[in-house]
Amino acid sequence: MEANEIPVPYNVVGNPAPEFELEGYFNGELKKFSLADYKGKWVCLLFYPLDFTFVCPTEVLSFSEHAKDFTERNCQVLGISVDSQFVHKAWVETAKQDGGLGGKLNYPLLADINKEASFSYGVLNEDAGVALRGLFLIDPEGTVMHATINNLPVGRSAKEALRTLKAFQFVAAHEGQVCPADWDEGMDAMEATPEGMRNFLTSH
């Protein structure tokens, strides 16, 4: 392995989240952001290909609309693309009718110019030179608990990411219980035992 080569876990889920420190833009300010800044919080990393494109603004704005819901659950959303922090600033401040985000975004956009973060999370499309649509939920101890990766043409769901976050937070707070398919807040969970599984299946 070369000295500057980033090791990539075979599967980041269940492993420590790769660290990063990136320039970014948020709320009128250009500054550095690192994963370590959010130790003790959940983090939702939202990799996307490029600013000023097509599917990307629909995703970025959808997560902005739900940013308060993530914040209320002690989770910080961070958007990451290979654009510079200056392009992020221009994109946020450009009117929607001109392909921008309309002047306000409720979470930071980070600049992965050297593509190391995209590479270390396994979402770099080297042929296109951009990140795939990767979404990662990281727990307060820094472990990746969830990952989804879409190819470029199809966007992701902020509501589904929020549902998944609720499920992982539930099982973290309720030892011995697991969440069945399509579980959402207020629904029955399952004891992680053969008897618990049988009871759940027979009662649902």
With a CB cutoff of 8 Å and minimum separation 6, the contacts of 50 are 56, 81, 82, 83, 130
Catalytic residue among 44, 56, 75, 179: 56
56 is a catalytic site residue:
yes
Is residue 57 within 8 Å of residue 141, measured between CB atoms? no
Report how far residue 26's alpha carbon sits from residue 105's, in angstroms, rounded to the nearest whole number: 8
Is residue 155 within 8 Å of residue 133, measured between CB atoms? yes
**Closest Cα partner for 94 from 67, 60, 68, 134?**
60
Task: Give kind and range of the element (H or E) at residue 144.
Answer: strand 144-150
Torsion sign (Cα): 144, 145, 151, 154: negative
Report how far residue 28's alpha carbon sits from residue 41's, in angstroms, rounded to the nearest whole number: 23
Helix crossing, 158-173 with 55-65: angle to 10°? 40
Is residue 52 within 8 Å of residue 46, measured between CB atoms? no
Catalytic residues: 56
